[in-house]
Amino acid sequence: MTNSREIRLSPSSGWLPLLLWFAGLLGVSAWFAVAPPVFKALGVLGLVALVICLSGFIIINPNMSRVLVLFGKYKGTVREDGFFFVNPFFSKTKISLRAHNLDGTVLKVNDLLGNPIEISAVVVWRVQDTARAAFDVEDYTQYVKVQSEAAVRAVASSHPYDDAQHEGVQTTLRGSTDEVTEELRKCLEQRLAEAGIEVLEARINHLAYAPEIASAMLQRQQAGAIIAARHMIVAGAVGMVEDALRQIQKDGLIHLDDERKATLVGNLLVVLCGQAHPQPVINAGSLYN
């Protein structure tokens, strides 16, 4: 298939042809008034010609365009806004050049690890080549919708949802927003270039686990957060115990053998790492009794 290419047209202003059209209307009216009955058929032909010429006047609003086709042959596109007169036999297809928002539907997709997730994207696009949009695809708005969903599925299935699920990954859907957004935009540009569509922006606006695994994954995330918090607490407690033993030995307050150090370390770790408030126990005897 040969890709179409847009041809820019600059038609003549429609104001002078409009004045000539009104002059012709007055002439036809006068002809009907003064011409003999046998020649009034010429007035009918003139009236038909005026009606046909009326379809040659077009009004183009800002950021709009008209694709002109003459008997199946593409002649060009008018992008200028204003009032113009073109060949009355042109078929004129209106195509908007304004930015469009596509709020994609929520899709259920399997990520790189096979976990079902829900994802959707917002795509901002506009027509860049009117000839491709009009002739190379059947319905360019529907084409954008279908290809956007396909691009979202392709990007979502090529990355894991979270970096906690797979070691060594560099890009995840939840943690690498900028990288995923850029990858989605490039994928869309490649797919929509066939229809002459320019992608202005593409971003993920919904990302979550599918309902059937959301509860289990939430528990997994909570467990990971608890483990990370415990690791931090233990690391801090060990540092505090080291500082305490070092200070005791430096000041020479008491002499601790290995067994008493182990007991002191255990007691301090219980106090520092325990969730419940510690209950003091008074030992009236010796540690070795």
Q: pLDDT tens digits, residue range 236-256?
A: 777 777 777 777 667 666 666
Q: pLDDT tens digits, residue range 2-52?
A: 678 999 999 999 999 999 999 998 988 887 777 777 677 787 888 899 999
Topology of the domain comprising 100-209: Tetrahydropterin Synthase; Chain A (3.30.479)
pLDDT surpassing 90 at residue 208? no
Q: What pLDDT is attached to residue 288?
A: 52
pLDDT surpassing 90 at residue 259? no
Domain boundaries, given as residue ranges, for the chain: 8-96, 100-209, 215-273
Q: pLDDT tens digits, residue range 210-245?
A: 777 556 566 666 656 666 666 777 777 777 777 777
Q: What pLDDT is attached to residue 167?
A: 57
Q: What pLDDT is attached to residue 110?
A: 87
Which has the minimum average pLDDT: 62-66, 140-144, 164-168?
164-168
**80 vs 161, residue with greater confidence:** 80
SS (H, E, C) the chain: CCCCCCCEECCEECHHHHHHHHHHHHHHHHHHHHCCHHHHHHHHHHHHHHHHHHCCEEEECCCEEEEEEECCEEEEEECCCEEEECCCCCEEEEEECCCEEEECCCEEEECCCCCEEEEEEEEEEEECCHHHHHHCCCCHHHHHHHHHHHHHHHHHCCCCCCHHHCCCCCCCCCCCHHHHHHHHHHHHHHHHHHHCEEEEEEEEEEEEECHHHHHHHHHHHHHHHHHHHHHHHHHHHHHHHHHHHHHHHHHCCCCCCHHHHHHHHHHHHHHHHCCCCCCCCCCCCCCCC
Q: What pLDDT is attached to residue 140?
A: 93
Q: What pLDDT is attached to residue 253?
A: 63
| pLDDT grade for 282, boundaries at 50, 70 and 90 | low
State the chain's mean pLDDT as an integer: 82
pLDDT surpassing 90 at residue 116? no
Q: What pLDDT is attached to residue 227?
A: 66
